[in-house]
Amino acid sequence: MTEPVIRARQLAKSYGSGPTSVQVFSGLSCEFFEGEFVAVVGPSGSGKSTLLHLLAGIDRPDFGVVEIEGEDLLSRDDRERARLRNEKIGFVFQFHHLLSEFSARENVAMPLRIAGVGKRAAGRAADALLERVGLRDRAAHRPAELSGGELQRAAIARAIARRPPIVFADEPTGNLDRSSADQVFDLLRELHAERRGTVVLVTHDRELALRCDKIFAMSPEGLRISDVREV
């Protein structure tokens, strides 16, 4: 049987302490496999974004295990987790998180520069990625000069700069109009078809969820595969 690319076991996460503590979820387990393009859906506050942050090692659970391609993510120190994220995980946020003082080219090149790629080579790779996502003529522009859809396309280019086997996308279309949302989603699907790997997409958008290969719904019992008619 094929081993999962992402495996989480018995995750628990809460925020705060004492009487003000809020438990997001407890005992949550899930697996995602190579080649899957998966939607994670559920009501606001059900823990969708929290789950992605735990799976990516951006946050730590109170309890549980996260494995990325068989590696125990949570046993690593902060430096090792950052290295593993940079190598294996691309993350697209709802709010693009591009650095405002840098151009689109410089933002996309950033993961490569962090990995030790020379400035010139990283710039060439960034230009190729920006051309692929339809932003060749916007490479020198800073985030404030880009539209919402352009910002997310640049964020996707940055996320895939090192060809990670996993891409997490947390409501990447949440702030976009219908046309821009469809364009961003179509780009994610096209890139997934070209590069395979695994994409886990958190979304409130029913139309987009129905276009994914599989849907997981957050529920009080944890994460379950959902019949598309229930979304």
Q: Among 58-62, 134-138, 219-223, name the one with the lowest average pLDDT.
A: 219-223
Once rounded to an integer, what is the mean pLDDT over residues 182-202? Answer: 91
For residue 217, report the phi and psi dihedrals to the nearest 5 degrees: -110, 130
Topology of 35-46+80-230 in CATH? Answer: Rossmann fold (3.40.50)
pTM of the model: 0.88
Judge whether residue 46 has pLDDT over 90.
no
Q: Tens digits of per-residue pLDDT, 79-104?
A: 888 888 888 899 998 777 899 999 99
**Domain extent listing, the chain:** 35-46+80-230
DSSP annotation of 19: G
Q: Which secondary-structure segment (H or E) carries 208?
A: helix 206-209
For residue 52, report the phi and psi dihedrals to the nearest 5 degrees: -60, -40
Beta strands 166-170 and 37-41, pairing class: unpaired
Once rounded to an integer, what is the mean pLDDT over residues 158-181? Answer: 89
Structure token digits, residue 184: 């961003």
Beginning with the edge strand found earlier in the chain, give each strand of the sheet holding 198-202 in spatial order. 89-92, 166-170, 198-202, 37-41, 214-219, 222-225
Structure token digits, residue 164: 């990670």
Once rounded to an integer, what is the mean pLDDT over residues 7-28? Answer: 85
User: What DSSP letter does each residue of 145-182 carry, written as one string?
Assistant: GS-HHHHHHHHHHHHTTT--SEEEEESTTTTS-HHHHH
